[in-house]
Structure 1
Amino acid sequence: MPKRTLERRAGRRAPAPGSRRPGLLLLPLFVIAAAHPGIREAGAQDSRAAARVAEASGYTLLYALDIPVTADFHATGPSYRVDASASMDAPFDRVAYYLELEAPDGRLDWVYVSMRAYTAKPTELGLPDPTGGRVVQQPVADLHVASNVAGIQPGDFATGGSLEIWPFNYSPANAGRVPGASDAVYDWGDQPASDGAYGSLQVHQHALGQVLLAYNRWGMGGGVASDIGIGNAVDPEEPGGAHVDWTFRANAGDWAARRLEILVRPGPTPFELKLSAPLAHAVHQRDADGRARVPIQAAGLAEDAGLEARALPLAGQRGRATDWRPIPVGDRPGDVAGQIELEAGWYAVELRLAGDDWVRSVHRVEPVGVGEVFVIAGQSNSANHGQPPLAPADPRVSTFDGRRWRPAFDPQPIATGNGGSPWPALGDLLAERLDLPIGFVSVGWGGTRVDQWLPEAALYPRIADALAGLAPNGARALLWHQGESDAAVGTSAVDYAERLRRVIGASRSEPAAARLPWGVALVSYLPGADPARRAAVIAGQRDVIAAGPAVFEGPDTDALSSADYRWDGIHFNEAGLRAHAAGWATAIAAAFPGLETLPTEPATSEPRPSASATPEASATRAPPATATAARGWLALPWLQARPALGTAPDWLDATAAAPAPTIDRPETPVRRREYQSND
Structure 2
Amino acid sequence: VPFASNSLYDWGDAMNTGTYGSMQIHVPSYGEVLFGVNRWARNDPKIDIGIGNQPTGHPDWTFADNSDIYTLKKLSVLVSKEDNIDPAVFAPNNKAVGTADTEGYKLVYDLPVATQATYGTSLVPYHVDYHKSVGTFERIAYYIELDDNWLWVSMNAFTDDASKIGVPTFASGAIFQQAVEDVNVFSSLAGMEASGITGNIEFWPNDYSTQNVKGIPNASDDAYDFGDIMRTTGDHGSMQIHNTAKGMTIFAYNNWNSNRVGAIGIGPNVVGEPDWTFADNAGQYTTKRIQVFVK
**TM-score normalised according to structure 2 size:** 0.67
Aligned match of 2:281: 251
In structure 2, distance between residues paired with 1:134 and 1:173: 21
Aligned match of 2:176: 136
In structure 1, distance between residues paired with 2:235 and 2:116: 13
Among candidates 80, 83, 97, match of residue 142 of structure 2:
97
| CA-to-aligned-CA distance 1:621-674 (integer Å, 9 cap, x gap) | xxxxxxxxxxxxxxxxxxxxxxxxxxxxxxxxxxxxxxxxxxxxxxxxxxxxxx
In structure 2, distance between residues paired with 1:47 and 1:144: 18
Structure 1 residues 210 and 198: alpha-carbon distance in aligned structure 2, compared to 1, 3 A threshold: same
- Runs (5+) with no aligned partner, structure 1: 1-39, 103-107, 236-240, 266-679
Aligned match of 1:166: 204
Q: Match for 2:132: what amino acid?
A: A
SS at match of 2:116: coil
In structure 1, distance between residues paired with 2:194 and 2:226: 20
Aligned match of 2:214: 176
SS at match of 1:253: helix
Aligned match of 2:233: 195
Among candidates 174, 177, 191, match of residue 151 of structure 1:
191
In structure 1, distance between residues paired with 2:264 and 2:102: 22
In structure 1, distance between residues paired with 2:205 and 2:195: 29
Structure 1 residues 70 and 41: alpha-carbon distance in aligned structure 2, compared to 1, 3 A threshold: closer
Aligned match of 2:246: 208
Among candidates 38, 51, 70, match of residue 116 of structure 2:
70
Aligned match of 1:225: 261
Structure 2 counterparts to residues 379-458 of structure 1, below 5 A? none
Structure 1 residues 244 and 116: alpha-carbon distance in aligned structure 2, compared to 1, 3 A threshold: same
How large is the RMSD of aligned CA atoms in angstroms? 1.7
SS at match of 1:219: coil
Aligned match of 1:80: 126
The answer as to whether partners of 1:62 and 1:263 remain within 8 angstroms in 2 is yes
Deviation at 1:194, TM superposition (A): 1.6
Q: Match for 2:190: what amino acid?
A: A
SS at match of 1:73: coil
SS at match of 2:138: strand
Structure 1 residues 191 and 185: alpha-carbon distance in aligned structure 2, compared to 1, 3 A threshold: same
Deviation at 1:261, TM superposition (A): 0.8
In structure 2, distance between residues paired with 1:178 and 1:229: 21
Deviation at 1:51, TM superposition (A): 2.5
The answer as to whether partners of 2:164 and 2:173 remain within 8 angstroms in 1 is no
In structure 1, distance between residues paired with 2:172 and 2:291: 22
Deviation at 1:118, TM superposition (A): 1.1
Among candidates 162, 165, 170, match of residue 122 of structure 1:
162
Q: Match for 1:81: what amino acid?
A: H
The answer as to whether partners of 2:209 and 2:228 remain within 8 angstroms in 1 is yes
Structure 1 residues 83 and 121: alpha-carbon distance in aligned structure 2, compared to 1, 3 A threshold: same
In structure 2, distance between residues paired with 1:41 and 1:134: 22
Aligned match of 1:540: none
Deviation at 1:128, TM superposition (A): 2.1
The answer as to whether partners of 2:212 and 2:229 remain within 8 angstroms in 1 is yes
In structure 2, distance between residues paired with 1:251 and 1:135: 24
Q: Match for 1:244: what amino acid?
A: P
SS at match of 1:157: strand
Deviation at 1:129, TM superposition (A): 2.9
The answer as to whether partners of 1:112 and 1:145 remain within 8 angstroms in 2 is yes
| CA-to-aligned-CA distance 1:367-420 (integer Å, 9 cap, x gap) | xxxxxxxxxxxxxxxxxxxxxxxxxxxxxxxxxxxxxxxxxxxxxxxxxxxxxx
The answer as to whether partners of 1:62 and 1:264 remain within 8 angstroms in 2 is yes
Structure 1 residues 176 and 43: alpha-carbon distance in aligned structure 2, compared to 1, 3 A threshold: farther
| CA-to-aligned-CA distance 1:111-165 (integer Å, 9 cap, x gap) | 111111111111111112314543100000001111111332x131342x01010
Deviation at 1:262, TM superposition (A): 0.7
SS at match of 2:163: helix
Q: Match for 1:141: what amino acid?
A: E
**TM-score normalised according to structure 1 size:** 0.30
Asked whether 1:45 is paired with 2:104, we answer no
Q: Match for 2:196: what amino acid?
A: F
| CA-to-aligned-CA distance 1:406-435 (integer Å, 9 cap, x gap) | xxxxxxxxxxxxxxxxxxxxxxxxxxxxxx
Structure 1 residues 43 and 262: alpha-carbon distance in aligned structure 2, compared to 1, 3 A threshold: farther
In structure 1, distance between residues paired with 2:178 and 2:95: 24
Which gives a bigger RCO, structure 1 or 2 (Cα 8 Å, sep 6+)? 2
In structure 2, distance between residues paired with 1:56 and 1:132: 26
The answer as to whether partners of 1:43 and 1:83 remain within 8 angstroms in 2 is no
The answer as to whether partners of 1:145 and 1:156 remain within 8 angstroms in 2 is yes
In structure 1, distance between residues paired with 2:96 and 2:189: 17
| CA-to-aligned-CA distance 1:65-95 (integer Å, 9 cap, x gap) | 0001110111112111111002222x21111
The answer as to whether partners of 2:236 and 2:255 remain within 8 angstroms in 1 is yes
Structure ranking higher in helix proportion: 1
The answer as to whether partners of 1:65 and 1:261 remain within 8 angstroms in 2 is yes
Asked whether 1:263 is paired with 2:265, we answer no
In structure 2, distance between residues paired with 1:122 and 1:212: 22
In structure 2, distance between residues paired with 1:128 and 1:213: 14
Structure 2 counterparts to residues 259-298 of structure 1, below 5 A? 259-265=289-295
Among candidates 55, 66, 75, match of residue 101 of structure 2:
55
In structure 2, distance between residues paired with 1:216 and 1:184: 18
Structure 2 counterparts to residues 461-472 of structure 1, below 5 A? none
Structure 1 residues 129 and 172: alpha-carbon distance in aligned structure 2, compared to 1, 3 A threshold: same
SS at match of 1:76: coil
Among candidates 133, 152, 159, match of residue 112 of structure 1:
152
In structure 2, distance between residues paired with 1:65 and 1:133: 18
Between structure 1 and structure 2, the one with the greater Rg is 1
| CA-to-aligned-CA distance 1:158-195 (integer Å, 9 cap, x gap) | 42x01010011111111111111111100011111122
